[in-house]
Chain A
């Protein structure tokens, strides 16, 4: 959308990028994507290792992203975001200096095509995975920021939602580093642009909406009302409706809170059939118990009458 002032350079397959500082050589295989900051290429190193390489003439922006990747690598547990392999500069034949970093190449498909292949009810599970990862990130004092469909991918066996672009990751309490209008709660007049967990949860709900409405939609005169209506009108989002609405209104203070809420709702939906059989069984059990109780009552009274009769007989004999 923004015609930038400098021509964006294109590297052909077979081009060679050699590092100035660490002396690693990378051969470009193909272009993977182009963003506001730089271009990402699939690359092969001399030892045959395939990785993703992001290159840009903006050294500062590349450095900022590398800093984020370094911080993410310190978070315990399953990896958040791609792992960082190398950081370096490359001077091309004209003497222009570019900065680049090399990261793990995460293979997978976009969320929408994954759900098309494997079924829509996977959405809930993937959202829960995302909430779990976000909880760990927030716990470390960071917020994802630019959470959107383009920045995640579903890797296969087992299906898992992975983050591929973490450039917007911001320390909690600061201003969001990078965002996309459609996903930004400031744009929807639903809150500030301060980095806090609820900012990510709003974007997560917008991710679901973007999936439900691939062509997106306008803000309208009353943004909050537009969002509510769009959530309610979508059939695909039906099982998550209440949770999404709450997230859009800033009702969740933490990822964990939303995760609990969502998993409760999901369990209810999948258990609905099971539930009906369970309640039937319960009813049977209950009536059996009642019968047992009444039997006990008759036994008791019988024993009391017998004892009373016995006393009566003894009394009679004694006289």
Chain B
């Protein structure tokens, strides 16, 4: 099987969107482009029950064919890496199921195989998860209520890079925050393979109460295309230089 690149958006937020397009609709659109949307909802330490705003978290992830989880701050590090890995497995399982359908018929998925054969298929999924390349765009909600959680978010992202870089496959990360100044997004770190360089803390408070999750997600989707564009431009440059010699 050809080893492709798994693309994911990881949205870290603590409340519901209140401006622009419906984030679930945008997430469904993004999933169509082969990019999974994962959502982590961060609770306040004193919140004992799931607040209303966080219902959106699960819905967006479902629409975006990703994984969602609602956690307290202190569990964020471990959650960020499990959610990312789970989403990878989920995507790969989807791919493998597609192949199985082609080979065995339309109603065949991994679950309909007897346990013995399922083991072998799962090994293939695991191999792919370990070796495929991954691109994760992290989208952090920096609206007022998230401010005191940002140091924890930073730590969790460094931790994510430790986990991902232990894999055999290559990784690329980018970090964006939203809302930005007069824009949907604010770039913190452009595509890079290591995140331990996030010494620069997240930008200071940018807004008063608006959370345009939908528009931010849409803008984030376009960042994947941009990476390809710059890469191919670099390649063109090289070929021109070579031709010059």
Contacts and interface: CB of A to CB of B under 8 A. Distances in A.
A87 interface: yes
B68 A5 contact: yes
Given A64-B126, A194-B166, A59 B111 contact: yes
Interface in B113-153: 114-116, 118-119, 122-123, 125-126, 130
Nearest to A63: B122
A187 B130 CA distance: 21
Contacts of B163: 175, 186, 193
B168 A174 contact: yes
A181 B77 contact: yes
Interface string A31-44: 00000100000000
Given A192-B162, A193-B162, A59 B110 contact: yes
Nearest to B90: A60
A67 interface: yes
A88 B78 contact: no
Interface string B89-104: 1000100000000000
Interface in A25-61: 36, 59-60
A186 to B, nearest CB: 5
Interface in A76-127: 87-89, 97, 99
B79 A2 contact: yes
B168 A173 contact: yes
B75 interface: yes
A170 to B, nearest CB: 9
B118 A174 contact: no
Interface residues of A, number: 30
A176 interface: yes
B122 A2 contact: no
A172 B242 CA distance: 41
B58 A5 contact: yes
B50 interface: yes
A3 interface: yes
B167 A175 contact: yes
A294 B54 CA distance: 94
B167 A174 contact: yes
A192 B166 contact: yes
A317 interface: no
Given A59-B118, A67-B123, A175 B69 contact: no
B195 interface: no
Interface in A139-191: 173-176, 181, 186-187
A5 B69 contact: yes
B115 A87 contact: yes
B85 to A, nearest CB: 9
Contacts of A87: 115-116
A60 B130 contact: no
A318 interface: no
Interface of B: 50, 58, 68-72, 74-75, 77-79, 82, 89, 93, 110-111, 114-116, 118-119, 122-123, 125-126, 130, 159, 162-168
Given A59-B118, A175-B168, 9 more contacts: A2-B70, A21-B114, A36-B82, A87-B115, A88-B115, A173-B168, A174-B166, A175-B163, A186-B163
Closest 3 CB pairs of A and B: A175-B166, A193-B166, A87-B115
23 contacts: A2-B69, A2-B75, A3-B50, A4-B69, A36-B82, A59-B111, A60-B89, A60-B122, A67-B119, A70-B119, A174-B130, A174-B167, A174-B168, A175-B167, A175-B168, A176-B166, A181-B77, A181-B78, A186-B162, A186-B163, A186-B166, A187-B159, A192-B162
